[in-house]
Structure 1
Amino acid sequence: MKYRKLGESDLEVSEISLGSWLTYGVGVEAEKARACLHAAFDVGINFIDTANVYGRGAAETFLGEALKARPRDSYVLATKLYFPMSDTDFGLSRAQVEKQLDASLQRLRTDYVDLYQCHRYDTGTPLEETMETLTRAVDSGKVRYIGFSEWPADKIREALDLSASRGFAKFVSSQPQYSLVWREPEEEVIPLCADNGISQIVWSPLGQGVLSGKYDPDKAPPAGSRATSREMGGFIERLMDPGLLRAVQQLKPIAEEAGLTMPQFALAWVLREPNIASAIIGASRPEQVQENAHASGLIVDTQLFLRAEAIIDEAMAGAGEHA
């Protein structure tokens, strides 16, 4: 496993990280989830990502129990806040940051998190209030570094300006969706962050599993896959376009030419970008963790990546025309 520095922090995170969205505490049995966590540590993954809203606290509770016997300095732990935890508990206000952070720490059974992330931008709270409260959290020792997920470029700039002018804690990480089938961050977010000491921790690098190649457009989704799961399948529908699925099948010989499985090829494509510190995987079986971990440190012929991009870009353009 290779490691990369997370922005302008002293955190060294594994190129492959383990996430818990839609899985741990929700869609995956505790025993299987624990096996995935053990497998992650065995292959050198040191970065675990979660959020308070995952299972309304269930993912954090699972991780708190599963990690309690491990030395706290042996892994990097990240969580998030913003989405509703109740009818009245949501957003990034001073009261919510303080309340949700303490609740997350209690569920995670730890005194601090290495990375505390704003899960989305809160249009209902002044950014200055959020940044000031996050800075107090850092100063208190409950949070080591701060990050954000899916913020627009103009708000990232505004936060950077506030940190510079007011002495607030500075963001070190951005967590966008990014994969061969979702390249939007390349336009503004990645260049802006790269210029300002902010790394990407990307979610859904396998396009909700579509880039694994397991979905045949002419067949029903495999039993047990995310597309068949009531708990885990809600976000995959937009990627189940038959034209896109056929294009993904065309990537198989390219991955084989690189000597890789489809998931390894897709992860290696993400990690080709220097501004990306880590790609978050979601796993329901230890074997998936082990296979995906092999994508770390791979050197792949750029021409293979370009061929894959051309195939997917054409398919995505076609899907947009028929939408």
Structure 2
Amino acid sequence: MEYRLLGNSGLRVSELCFGAGTFGRNSEFFKEWGLMEGDAAKRIVDLCVDAGINFFDTADVYSDGESEKVLGESIRHLDRGQLVIGTKATFRLGKGINDAGQSRHHLIRSIEGSLKRLGTDYIDVYYMHEVDAMTPIEETLYTLNRAVEEGKIRYIGCSNFSGWQLMKSLSISERYGWAKYVVQQSYYSLIGRDFEWELMPLGQSEKVGTAVWSPLGWARLTGKYSRNKPKPTTSRLNDEKMIAAGPKVADEHLYNVVDAIEAIAQETGKSVPEVSLNWLLQRPTVSTIIIGGRSEEQLKQNFKAVGWKLTPEQMTKLDEASKVIAAYPYWHQRQFPERNHDLL
């Protein structure tokens, strides 16, 4: 297992991060991934640690706080100082008028709630889970900076921000000398490369690391989907709510990408998920990839994505097969590589 710096920080995290969205039993949304607790969850954590994973990801909203509780219970027998725990706040957790967002009021309560559920004195990486357009950015960043100064949070990150929203946040932190976002948790995959248009160049310029969520394209790159295979009967993509909540991918584009992945999988003796994850691990700004698994077998399969590298030629084949026309102004800028080579 390789360990990488988390953006512009001195914190080293494993290149694979375990996402504990499947921990707990209170979520209609996450039941499609498979829910677990007790000894089963502890076993999963131990498998991760044995494989060299030190980074674990959760959120207050996952299973209404149960994910944090189960994760906290599952790491209790381990050396807390050797683990990196990330959690998040922003989405609604409660029925009160102020039980959502990034106000000082909500964040203070959210931090205390997560610390209690996790059973820890500090959170290593605390993410803003989504944009809150109603709260001044200064209010959010001031509150996070105070939590860092108090030792309740070690580092801060954001998730699902646009480029201008992240850049504005970094500028405000710079102006006041507050803690900066060192990592963005973003959707990125071989069938979802919008991240490269703006957020990746921003990450390169400002040294913001990336924690990739849904690296297998909302389960489309698990090896179950291809041009010549019938759609699996047991899949989250059979649920209309799950489809609506996730990224949209045209079938023909998916099949073209999977064709290329399968060809390289055959060359390398690897699986479709292994090739898909390995491609991500070689992309700029990627600090870690968040993986999961409904079972020990699935989890161990994901472990096989590390310890080897696709060749430059194989990377190029995947790049070509998965590229799409960029949105404006990026398609225009890319026509002039003499001055905009770094944007390509």
Q: TM-score, normalised to structure 2's length?
A: 0.85
User: SS at the partner of 1:17?
Assistant: strand
Residue 29, structure 1, aligned to residue 19, structure 2: no
Q: CA deviation at 1:231?
A: 9.1
C-alpha separation in 2, matches of 1:119 and 1:314: 27
Q: 2:79 — aligned with what?
A: 71
Distance 2:42 2:293 in 1: 11
- Secondary structure at the aligned position of 2:211 is classed as strand
CA distance in 2, matches of 1:162, 1:18: 31
Distance in 2 between residues matched to 1:315 and 1:38, nearest whole Å? 43
Match of 2:105 in 1: 95
2:65 matched residue in structure 1: 57
Q: Which amino acid counterpart does residue 35 of structure 1 have in structure 2? A: R
Give SS of 1:146's match. Answer: strand
Amino acid at match of 1:65: E
Equivalent position SS for 2:273? helix
**Match of residue 214, structure 2, among 198, 201, 204:** 204
Superposed CA deviations along residues 263-322 of structure 1, whole A, max 9, x for unmatched, are 1111111111231100101211122222212222422112212222333336999xxxxx
Native 8 Å contact 1:36 1:284 kept in 2: no
Choose which of 313, 317, 329 in structure 2 pairs with 1:307. Answer: 317
Q: Cα gap change, 1:193/1:311 in structure 2, threshold over 3 Å: closer, same or farther?
A: closer
Q: Distance in 2 between matches of 1:168 and 1:237?
A: 34
The answer to whether the 8 A contact 1:244-1:316 is kept is: no
Instruction: Give 3-state SS (helix, strand or coil) of 2:124's partner.
Output: strand
For the pair 1:195 / 2:216, whether they are aligned, the reply is no
2:148 is aligned, of 135, 138, 155, to 138
Q: Residue 42 and residue 226 in structure 1: after superposition, are their counterparts in 2 closer, same or farther (change >3 A)?
A: farther
Unaligned runs of 5+ in 1: 318-323
Contact persistence 2:190–2:276 (CA under 8 A): yes
Any idea what the Cα deviations from partners look like across 1:16-38, whole Å, max 9, x if unmatched?
110123x2214323244333222
The letter of the residue matching 1:18 is: F
Distance 1:236 1:154, change over 3 A: closer
Q: Determine the structure 2 residue equivalent to 1:246.
A: 255
* AA of the residue aligned to 1:181: I
Question: Number of paired residues?
Answer: 314
TM-score (norm. length: structure 1): 0.90
One-letter amino acid of the counterpart of residue 13, structure 2: V
Query: Helix, strand or coil for the counterpart of 1:59?
Result: helix
The answer to whether structure 1 residue 264 and structure 2 residue 274 are counterparts is yes
CA distance in structure 2 between the partners assigned to 1:227 and 1:66 by the alignment:
30
Match of 1:321 in 2: none
Residue number in structure 1 paired with 2:336: none
**Partner residue in 1 for 2:224:** 214
Paired residue secondary structure (2:248): helix
Measured at CA, do residues 177 and 205 of structure 1 come closer, stay the same or move farther in structure 2, by a change above 3 Å? same
The reply to whether residue 186 of structure 1 matches residue 203 of structure 2 is no
Q: Is the 8 A contact 1:18 1:48 kept in 2?
A: yes
Question: Which structure's relative contact order is higher, taking Cα pairs within 8 Å and 6+ residues apart?
Answer: 1
Residues 185 and 236 of structure 1: is their aligned pair in 2 closer, same or farther, counting only changes over 3 Å? closer
Q: What is the aligned partner in structure 1 of residue 124 from structure 2?
A: 114
Following TM superposition, by how much is the alpha carbon of 1:232 offset from its aligned partner in structure 2, in angstroms? 6.6
What letter matches 2:81 in structure 1?
A: D
In the alignment, structure 2 segments of 5+ residues that lack a partner are: 26-30, 328-344
Amino acid in structure 1 at the alignment position of 2:8: E
Matched position secondary structure for 2:164:
helix
Contact 2:193 2:323 (8 Å CA) reproduced: no
User: In the aligned structure 1, how far is the partner of 2:41 from the partner of 2:325?
Assistant: 35
Give me the identity figure in percent.
37
CA distance in 2, matches of 1:91, 1:236: 21
Question: Equivalent residue for 2:169?
Answer: 159
Tell me which amino acid in the other structure corresponds to 2:126: Y
The alignment status of 1:9 with 2:18, answered yes or no, reads no
